[in-house]
Structure 1
Amino acid sequence: MDSHKVPHLQRRSGIFGNIIFDILLMGFAISLVTSPIWFDVNDILYQINGFKNYLIRNLVPSNLYNYWLIIPLGIIGTWRWSIWFIKKVVASLYYPILPDPNKVNSKSKANLSVSVIIPVYNEDEKIFKRSLDSWWKNKPAEIIAIIDKSDTGCIAEFKEFQEGKDNVKLIVTSKPGKRAALVDGILESKGQILALTDSDTMWDANFLENALGPFLVDTNIGGVTPRYHPLEIKTIWQKMTDIFWDMRNYYDMPAQTAGGKALSCLSGKTALYRREILLPKMNLFLNEIILGRKKESGEDKCFTRLVQQEGWKTYYQSSAIIYSSAAPKFGQFIKQRIRWARNSHNSDFESLWNGWVWKRPYLAFSMIDRFISVFTLLLG
């Protein structure tokens, strides 16, 4: 799929929007702090103790009993602004890996084959068809779709797409759950790199070329996650999703990459892994237990943790771009946010408890901040 041919899939650098957002945010903070000054300009300028009196009048509560409220709020505000500043500084050190042809072994590049693995359940047939076309145009070594037997529309769509293509495989499954489908696809695959992809996700025209860059340059990188944007933005909830994803694209992922090449999550929308890492972990993946319960969702957090706890690096590649569906209605949006938050907190707790994440200081810092932010949001 050529993004320049579809109006709502135009590429966005996001840099201009980020600059405007930062200016507005800082302007709001400055105006909030300094707004009382404009009412006290004469006192500050022409009285000997004018500035001192201004500070006492505006910042020191007249009733000392109010300290129990002001001090905690002040600590929360200081913490959140400090976190924002740290992320901005660390993220500014990030850069996507653009392999130098002179430094990449041509033989290695030729052997770096990619298997695209797609679990499919109850998908919109038109979106699935467009996604298939976008994956095919990126020229992977093979495409493997694991489709639930009840999804007859997508099965028919895939069989039509499959005609005349030897490297396109269909697995019709009766096993429940996304994890079982992913395992079937991984075991069937032959490529050195596995691209695990959601059925409603479309790739940019040169996605695969850009996404493979980190693997080609650094053999210690075990997983790569791309930049993603909504397929369409028609409702306020899709716009909200776009904002959350932009925070991920331009703050969280760049900072975590620059801070140690260790990411909190390689999103299931599309994540690339070295097959040699995932293959021995199929039993652990299928039978993941967190807090005494067997996990069904959160498969992307599970793979991210299993890869990194063995010492492999992960990388966010901003030049590799994908587009995925965003929830259009409030009910869908809030359920999605709750599910993602629950999976993130469960997995992060497991990582912190097991101890491996403490060897990746910035990642540990990010996980702890995510826990704290829940309480600061409620208190604020």
Structure 2
Amino acid sequence: MFDIKWIRENADAFDKALAKRGYEASSAKLIALDDSRRSHITKLQEAQERRNAASKEIGKAKGSGDEARAQELIDEVAQIKAFIQSGEEEERTLVGNLEAAMAVIPNLPYEDVPVGSDENENVLLKTHGERPTFTFNEAPKEHYELGEALGDMDFARAAKLSGSRFVVLKGQIARLERALGQFMIDLHTQENGYMEVSPPLLVNADPLYGTGQLPKFEEDLFKSTTDHYLIPTAEVPLTNLVAGEILSDEQLPLRVTALTYCFRSEAGSAGRDTRGMLRQHQFLKCELVSVTRPEESLDELDRMLGCAELILQKLGLHYRVMTLCTGDMGFGARKTYDIEVWLPGQDAYREISSCSVCGDFQARRMNARYRPTDSKQPLHVHTLNGSGIAVGRALIAVLENYQNGDGSITVPEVLRPYMGGLEKLG
């Protein structure tokens, strides 16, 4: 969400920033909607002033015995009252029209974000580690081949239970997934300074509006019969913990993490990644959310990226970090880094974490503010979110990078305490 006053004062910059994201100029439309709202408010204020003045004149007319004039004024006040009542409803409509128009416009990118139309124009920031080498002669297998061969990854039974894009994990692989999630949440709370939160997985529409999933992306959500939505990411409840609040300066930065299941309809991904676990309707993810002072948010983005990277480093996985171009960033982001892990079974890098700074975009939608120690005027906070990391994709990466020629999987050392000391699957 944007400040219409800022748009009025920076219309050209607003339109140029939107153009970088492939959106048409919108300032003129928004200003016109705001002009209608402001004009109507002026009429209401003038009507209220006239009603007050006429009410006083009624008393004077009655006092002077001019009953005809008094009745004329009484009729006028009644007409003004009716106009104000209908006018207040129209004002709410005009305000709603402006807010609805702004609600579907994406956040503006920072100046240093590379301009591009899609993922092919993302920019490499850095790489870490080396691609694994294998001693066996065959090509590395994909995760679903390995999991099905072990008998612990069952897509057929999942389809019987729930349809496509679900999986049943069993035995050692189910335990490995649980170990990965526990390892991540432990690292972020014990070493990276995040507070663990266990949030609801069902939320109403307001939190989804606050973080930008609604109204534009409703088709990507699962909605219940009680008008609740299954969370597409724990970013939604975690960020909205501060919705409608004024935090003290001492509470910032606020850093929270959660290990939750997430649910996405994948409405726009028909035909993509249909094999295996890469794109599921239900998946486990460790989420990181930060709420900061405005001047600290870019440094916090680098810190969050480092926290997510640490997971992969401790797992011994090769990855690269990409700066997303304007055409590939999420709706609410001003700048985003994607971590892409190497999957030898696919012979490709795949996203495993995305860390974004949103500026005050979400804070304005949520009305989340803080009061600086040197000011009585509250300011909007800045919000950030990131995957720390996607557990399902980490499971894929471990299976493919630690596979052996006999079909077994070596358990990374850092996970063995969570696996009862087990060194190999299979």
Structure ID, larger Rg? 2
Task: Give the TM-score normalised by the residue count of structure 1.
Answer: 0.26
Task: Give the TM-score normalised by the residue count of structure 2.
Answer: 0.24
